[in-house]
């Protein structure tokens, strides 16, 4: 699978999980960030999706913590 197809798959994954936190990725990530995630996952799409989920869960938790203090 080409890098472009992997990036498209990661974007689709984030969009499919938009309301569960994927919006952090879908709205903010660019090609370079997706490529960085793919590099961290050694090109493995399943691993890259796991990493993205961990990232958006951490961002969602951080947002919840900050908003709780408002």
- pLDDT grade for 65, boundaries at 50, 70 and 90: low
pLDDT attached to residue 66: 66
Helices (H), the chain: 3-16, 23-28, 31-40, 45-68
CB half-sphere exposure, 48, CA atoms < 13 A: 23
Number of folded domains in the chain? 1
> Which of left, alpha, beta for 21 (phi over 0: left; psi -120 to 50: alpha)?
left
Residue bearing tokens 């990493």: 51
13-36 tens-digit pLDDT:
999 999 999 999 999 999 999 999
Instruction: Residue 44: give the domain boundaries.
Output: 3-68
Percent residues over pLDDT 70 in the chain? 91
Each residue's pLDDT tens digit, 32-62: 999 999 999 999 999 999 999 999 999 877 7
């Amino acid at each position: 699978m080409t890098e472009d197809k992997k990036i498209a798959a990661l974007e689709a994954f984030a969009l499919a999980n938009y309301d569960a936190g994927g919006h952090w990725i879908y709205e903010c990530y660019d090609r370079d960030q997706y490529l960085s995630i793919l590099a961290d996952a050694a090109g493995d799409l399943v691993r890259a999706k796991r990493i993205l989920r961990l990232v958006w869960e951490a961002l969602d938790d951080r947002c919840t913590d900050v908003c709780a203090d408002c």
